[in-house]
């Protein structure tokens, strides 16, 4: 069965510093990996995804993520955090074959402090 | 293009009642998924539909049901409501032919409170 772990419930970072939000996954086979962000009282917004090819994926708002197959990780990164990046971040995985649903991690709350 | 819309946005019900939530996907999107979001459990998958067919179902009791119409609009129904059903219910639609690698576009959710 596929699963996603976001080991940190909360990440605090100072504005201007680099940020990392961690995600590891478990899926038997090749995964499709996604990051979404949720702002207060809003639905989720898509940030980026890994399908195949280049392990470094660039997405919206200056975010990027690196797919690491050996470590089964897909950490979200940004070189310089903004206060407006403060939100709830979700990692999600889907098995590439078969008919399996998208599975989300429990989310990581990012706080960027001015 | 208009985004995913969900109605109603807020709902208060009492235990034992039933509720129907509605979702209108982005125009042209044929795949619709439903999720339950709670602080303790995060996002839990409920259903996925593509062209009126249920493609996947999550691990929820039979009180939770859904359907998709020919215009891709979707509804989910929860019967015999329990306190634990209080949650934000999110609907998401995907473009294309329902490919597994397509990103999902989420609506703002319906906040259900069961008293």
Asked if B48 and A95 come within 8 Å (Cβ–Cβ), the reply is: no
Asked if A99 and B101 come within 8 Å (Cβ–Cβ), the reply is: no
Res B40: pLDDT = 80
Distance in angstroms (rounded) separating the CA atoms of residues A66 and A76: 7
Give mean pLDDT, residues B53-82.
95
Enumerate the residues of chain B whose CB falls inside 8 A of the CB of residue A107: 42-43
In chain A, count of helices (H) and strands (E)? 0, 12
Give mean pLDDT, residues A103-109.
94
Collapsed DSSP state (helix, strand, coil) of residue A108:
strand
Res B83: pLDDT = 97
Distance in angstroms (rounded) separating the CA atoms of residues B35 and B1: 23
Enumerate the residues of chain B whose CB falls inside 8 A of the CB of residue A95: 100
- Closest partner residue to A90 (CB to CB) among B43, B101, B108 is B43
Give mean pLDDT, residues A105-110.
95
Distances in Å between the alpha carbon of A103 and those of A50, B45, B56, B69? 15, 7, 12, 25
Judged against a pLDDT cut of 90, whether residue B74 lies above it is answered with: yes
Res B114: pLDDT = 97
Query: B69: buried, middle or exposed (CB in 10 Å: 19+, 13-18, 0-12)?
Result: exposed
Asked if A101 and B48 come within 8 Å (Cβ–Cβ), the reply is: yes
Give mean pLDDT, residues B50-63.
92
Judged against a pLDDT cut of 90, whether residue B112 lies above it is answered with: yes
Asked if A32 and B101 come within 8 Å (Cβ–Cβ), the reply is: yes
Judged against a pLDDT cut of 70, whether residue B98 lies above it is answered with: no
- Closest partner residue to A44 (CB to CB) among B58, B101, B106 is B106
What DSSP letter does each residue of B82-104 carry, written as one string?
A: -GGG-EEEEEEEE-TT--TT---
Q: How far is B6 from chain A (nearest CA, A)?
A: 10
- Closest partner residue to B101 (CB to CB) among A44, A46, A49 is A49
Enumerate the residues of chain B whose CB falls inside 8 A of the CB of residue A96: 100-101
Res A98: pLDDT = 67
| Per-residue pLDDT tens digits for B36-46 | 999 888 899 99
């Amino acid at each position: 069965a596929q699963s996603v772990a976001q080991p940190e419930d909360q990440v605090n970072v100072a504005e201007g510093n680099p940020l990392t939000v961690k995600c590891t996954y478990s899926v038997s086979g090749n995964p499709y990996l996604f990051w979404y962000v949720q702002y207060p009282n809003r639905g989720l917004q898509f940030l980026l995804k890994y399908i195949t090819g280049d392990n470094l994926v660039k997405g919206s708002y200056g975010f990027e993520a690196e797919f690491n197959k050996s470590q089964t990780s897909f950490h979200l990164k940004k070189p310089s955090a903004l206060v407006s990046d403060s939100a709830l971040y979700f990692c999600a995985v889907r098995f590439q074959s078969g008919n399996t649903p998208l599975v989300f991690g429990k989310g990581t709350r990012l706080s960027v402090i001015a | 293009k208009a985004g995913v819309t969900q109605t109603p946005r807020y709902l208060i019900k009492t235990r034992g009642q039933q509720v129907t939530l509605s979702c209108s996907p982005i125009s042209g999107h044929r795949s619709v998924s439903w999720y339950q979001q709670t602080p303790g459990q995060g996002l839990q998958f409920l259903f996925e539909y593509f062209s009126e067919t249920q493609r996947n179902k999550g691990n929820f009791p039979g009180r939770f049901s859904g359907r998709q119409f020919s215009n891709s609009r979707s509804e989910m129904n929860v019967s015999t409501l329990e306190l634990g059903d209080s949650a934000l219910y999110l609907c998401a639609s995907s473009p294309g032919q329902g490919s597994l690698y397509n990103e999902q576009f989420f609506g703002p959710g319906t906040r259900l409170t069961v008293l």
